[in-house]
Chain A
Amino acid sequence: MVKKKNSEVIVIEKADDMPPMPASMGSMRHNKTASWRSIRPIILEEKCKRCMICWKFCPEPAIFPTDPPAIDYEYCKGCGICIEECPFDAIVSEKEGK
């Protein structure tokens, strides 16, 4: 199977090299969803109570349950769910590319 790794993106050139069904050739690690992001969630450490609700709700998942939780900006797609769900208003949004 020909797999060309071009800056972590797998490039498939021929039908023969593709799996029979539309299945990714590896995990979604290669699918850097951050490119879609228009807003950037930012966790305010002093307000954060470490309840990890944001970690539970992030659909990507792009939040690590560390102390305080950390956002992986390579995969965070900026959906804003974490901002909406944080019960302590500890996540704010910033416009991307400002």
Chain B
Amino acid sequence: MKKVLTGNFAAAYGATAAKVDVVSAYPITPQTTIVEILSEIVADGLLDADFIKVESEHSAMAACIGAQAVGARTFTATSAQGLALMHEMLHWAARGRLPIVMANVNRAMAPGWSIWADVTDSVAQRDTGWMQVYCENNQEVFDTILMSYKVGEYEDVLLPTLVNLDAFFLSHTSQVVDLYDEKTIDAFLPEYNPKIKLDVKDPRSFGALTSPEHYYEFSYKMQIAQENARSRIKEVSAEFEKRFGRKYDLIEAYRCEDAETVLVDYGTIAGTAKDAVDRMRDRGERVGALKIRYLRPFPVKEVCRILNSARQVGVIDRAISFGHEGPFFTEVKAAMYGSQIPIWGFLAGLGGRDVSIADIESVVTHMKQNEPSNIIWIGVKK
């Protein structure tokens, strides 16, 4: 069944289709309509789930952790400052190996108070151990929520996923989303049934004092899980394509095969970049775009495979690590370490400023006329 939905509806419907058992949320700003929609779905009896209302985002994540630990499938959503308040609990969820899925509407961090797109909120949670996906459109939001439960729940992964969608450009923009029927989705996503859980019949203590004797090994196992996730993501994407007909991967290369210039992007900028690439291709310029879907696990090999055949690379970031450069630019450069291919670091659209096709074309023009540099502010009013 196809519907015209905003990104927030697509996220809420994704959680509904995944038949989550528990939704916990704090309802006040910076919360979005995602949990409001879910509360209605639960109240209407369309989803057999418990909706736990809590007093903060920190508690929302804590409630998800508790519920997931007994074997429930859980979901929550947040944004910007709310995600920041969850920070401590994000570590508890990941190191507790609880495959929670959370939608995060990427909004700029305050001050100044903002409800517009910027990925600083999620990038700041990079090292919590969560997998992180950045979506380009509302269909991808819906699909990614389903795939994230499947990937995260594998015994050799057991990791939570943050599904990111740009504020307004997705959260409040309506697009056609194919929701599929219950049977097809249930066949794709089996019930969650973890081997180790809080169970009175098999008493254990979770997250207790861990000495240096064991902590190191738990960290080692987290890294192995992230590495396993890389192949599980590919596997699950392939199965998803077979069942639903849409192709996903760790990355998406658009017209990169013979491209001399490759633009690296993520989120909604990736969609605009495709249009910009088409325009430049029409003018005979050999330009391609590489969309990074996963910040963690970072697709090092996949990124290198595409970029190694380019002559020059430009990375467009919708966030900055103050005192350094764009966060994805750092990742791409590190992945490309040892390569002689020049890489430019561009900043665009921070705080929800529009990034137009012309802006993206200006990136390529800049690369033609200038030596590589790490911080180029597109459209800043200097």
Contacts and interface: CB of A to CB of B under 8 A. Distances in A.
Interface of A: 12, 14-15, 18-28, 31
A75 to B, nearest CB: 13
Nearest to A11: B213
B203 A20 contact: no
B214 A22 contact: yes
Contacts of B210: 22
B207 A15 contact: no
B206 A21 contact: yes
Interface in B161-211: 196, 203-208, 210
Given A12-B214, A15-B220, A20 B204 contact: no
Contact of B97 (A12, A14, A20, A25): A20
Query: By CB atoms of chain A within 10 A, which of B95, B215, B217, B220 has the most?
Result: B217
Binding site of B, secondary structure by majority: helix, strand, loop or mixed?
loop
A26 B199 CA distance: 11
A19 to B, nearest CB: 5
B218 interface: yes
Contact of B218 (A21, A24, A28): A21
Contacts of A31: 205, 208
Given A20-B97, A22-B95, A27 B203 contact: yes
B350 interface: no
Query: By CB atoms of chain A within 10 A, which of B98, B218, B220 has the most?
Result: B218
B221 interface: yes
B337 to A, nearest CB: 28
B225 interface: yes
A13 to B, nearest CB: 10
Contacts of B207: 21-23
Given A18-B221, A28-B203, A28-B205, A23 B214 contact: no
Given A22-B215, A26-B204, 13 more contacts: A12-B214, A15-B217, A15-B220, A18-B221, A20-B196, A20-B221, A21-B96, A21-B98, A21-B218, A22-B208, A23-B206, A27-B205, A28-B203
A21 B97 contact: yes
Contacts of B96: 21-22
13 contacts: A14-B217, A21-B96, A21-B98, A21-B158, A21-B207, A22-B96, A22-B207, A22-B210, A22-B215, A24-B204, A24-B206, A31-B205, A31-B208
Contacts of B196: 19-21, 23
Given A12-B214, A15-B217, A15-B220, A22 B158 contact: no
Contacts of A15: 217, 220-221
A27 B198 CA distance: 11
A19 B197 CA distance: 11
A12 B203 CA distance: 18
Nearest to B194: A20
A15 B207 CA distance: 16
A33 to B, nearest CB: 11
A27 B214 contact: no
Nearest to B158: A20
A27 B217 contact: no
Query: By CB atoms of chain A within 10 A, which of B97, B204, B206, B220 has the most?
Result: B204
A22 B96 CA distance: 7
Contact of B208 (A14, A24, A26): A24
